[in-house]
Structure 1
Amino acid sequence: MKQPSDHDTDYMACAGCFCLASRQAARKITRLYDSYMQGSGVRVTQFTILSQLMLRGEMPIGKLAGLLGMERTTLSRNLTLLEGKNWISISAGEDPRARMIAITAQGRGLVRRGFPYWSKAQAHIGKLLGADGQAALKLLSSRNLG
């Protein structure tokens, strides 16, 4: 199959890349949440991990990574920081290779203190997205796109 030449290819199509747009939007949304969360003493990424542990209970790191849609290595770096602040505990599971993650009492207190800040950020983002944007975001996050 003949490769198209640069003269035949419209690279300007890349300017509308959905991947780029979604990554830019995700970073902007995270920064907005973090600006609201400043007074709580926790970043939104940390709050998300802690709140999911508070809601769902102790679980293996792999399950938590899947639930959060994060790579295990990225999650491990975050968990090391949270453990250092005594907001979570990490222990061996029944299978010694599996590490179990649980929120501590201190972590639960942080979620309780951070919740009002998160709620304000959530409302702000919800208004920016509108009903259609919220529905699209929920649909994309729940779908297996592969």
Structure 2
Amino acid sequence: MNRPISYDECNCFALRQAARHVTQIYERHLSAVGLSAAHFTILAKLARTPNLTMMDLADAMVMDRTTLVRAVKPLQRDGLISTEPAAHDGRTFLFSLTDKGEKTFDEAAIAWRAAQDEFESSFGRGRAKALRSELFDITE
């Protein structure tokens, strides 16, 4: 007989619980700009690296393409992201921020900084930096 799962030993449970908690902080701040944390991260990636293909953006976000398509649609609808066919292949589309997307991202970056400061103030700046490093190691 299998022993019952102990949630205090479950990495997945701990990570998902922590992710929900941290996401709530960021969502509270970003809601003033009308963005979710997921939408902000997509805009942030495109602000740093414009003209990404769907595959490159999905890989960077560690998302499957179907999930990314659902996340990108409202950003396209709201005029924050443009989609242009690639010059080398009309079936490949490139995603970039529009002028409105850049303005929204700039406003959202202020809200993001407030969320970042709130989290780091309660968790500790050094601990937060070490945590980010460990978490990025998981996805590399």
TM-score range, shorter chain: 0.7 to 0.9
Superposition pairs of residues 97-116 of structure 1, within 5 angstroms: 97-116=91-110
From 41, 46, 56, the equivalent of 2:49 is 56
Q: Offset at 1:133?
A: 4.1
Question: How far apart, CA to CA, are the structure 2 residues paired with 1:117 and 1:49?
Answer: 15
SS of 1:96's partner is: strand
Q: What residue number does 1:86 align with?
A: 79
Q: Offset at 1:34?
A: 0.7
Q: What residue number does 2:129 align with?
A: 134
Question: How far apart, CA to CA, are the structure 2 residues paired with 1:43 and 1:31?
Answer: 10
From 29, 38, 51, the equivalent of 1:45 is 38
Tell me the matched-pair count.
138
Q: Offset at 1:116?
A: 1.2
| Identity among equivalent pairs (%) | 27
Question: How far apart, CA to CA, are the structure 2 residues paired with 1:119 and 1:86?
Answer: 24
Structure 1 unaligned runs (5+)?
none
Q: Offset at 1:12?
A: 4.2
Instruction: Name the amino acid aligned to 2:132.
Output: L
Instruction: Name the amino acid aligned to 1:140.
Output: L
Q: Is the 8 A contact 2:8 2:14 kept in 1?
A: no
From 93, 118, 125, the equivalent of 1:124 is 118
TM-score, normalised to structure 1, is 0.84
Q: Offset at 1:85?
A: 0.5
TM-score, normalised to structure 2, is 0.87
Q: Offset at 1:98?
A: 2.1
User: Please, what is the CA RMSD of the aligned residues?
Assistant: 1.8
